Amino acid sequence: MRMAAQAGRGRKIARAGILLAGMTVLAACSSDNDEPVYVERPVDQIYNEAAGQLDQGEYRDAARSFDEVERQHPYSTWATEAQLMAAYSYYQANEYEDAIAAAQRFIDLHPGNPNVAYAYYLVGLCNYERISDVGRDQDMTRKAMEAFEEVVRRFPDSAYARDARLKIDLARDHLAGKEMQIGRYYLTRGMYIAAINRFRTVVERYQTTTHAPEALHRLTEAYLSLGIEREAQTSAAVLGYNYPGSEWYEDSYALLTGRDLRPVEDKGSWISRAFSSVF
């Protein structure tokens, strides 16, 4: 009897071991396959879910849900709108490269869509949000400016053109600031030709920015240091004519009079030509 009971218990333990082994195998199979099961759903259900996630500030989830609209129903009218909404959701999630990719995809696939102006504008915003201080590389500034210029050029009467123009001006001012920073660095180290080249870039390309008056003053300073008096006098004269109340003009005037010189414009100078084309 005792031996039969022990044998019965042994069989139970063995069966339990087999069951546990089977459960372990199933668990392993489950852990090895973490991919979600594909379940096709109605397009309006997916889109409304994405819109709800967007309203709740769940931007990453919303972006992926909008992507799912296109994945499951690529030829529906919902898919076109979902592409742009995905781009916007990625932008809100600060996933700028994904946002640019989604917006660019919308532009490529739907160039005649009424909302394509916003797609171009969104590309500009994604770069604009990543503009760094003038001490760092300004590649994002240039990309943002190019994107906004595309908005203004292609869609001058759109709802986004006005803000694009404003951001272009701010980007240009930022690029001019970068040139000024490098120019000052060269100037303080006596590298006058290199400094002049930087200030010249500001005068020729960014005359309408806030940095133009200082650039003219620094040109006066650099040219005087090189003994090129006529150009120094011209830069001061142009500075005084266009920014008469500027403190930079007062500084340039003091530099010239300290050497018994006066601001006198040479009409043939590149400085005069640069400003006469704008003002």
Residue 199 CA to residue 191 CA, distance in Å, equals 13
Token pair for 50: 């994405």
Query: CA gyration radius for the chain?
Result: 33
Residue 8 pLDDT exceeds 50: no
Chain CA centroid to CA 168, Å:
12
**Model pLDDT, residue 51:** 82
**Model pLDDT, residue 235:** 96
Q: Which residue has the higher pLDDT, 45 or 195?
A: 195
pLDDT category at 69 given cuts 50, 70, 90 is confident
Residue 108 phi, psi (nearest 5): -65, -40
**Model pLDDT, residue 173:** 93
Domains of the chain in sequence order: 43-173 (1.25.40.10), 190-276 (no CATH)
Instruction: Specify the DSSP class assigned to residue 128.
Output: H
pTM, 2 dp: 0.74
What digits encode the pLDDT tens for the residues 18-51?
Answer: 222 333 333 334 344 555 555 677 766 777 787 8
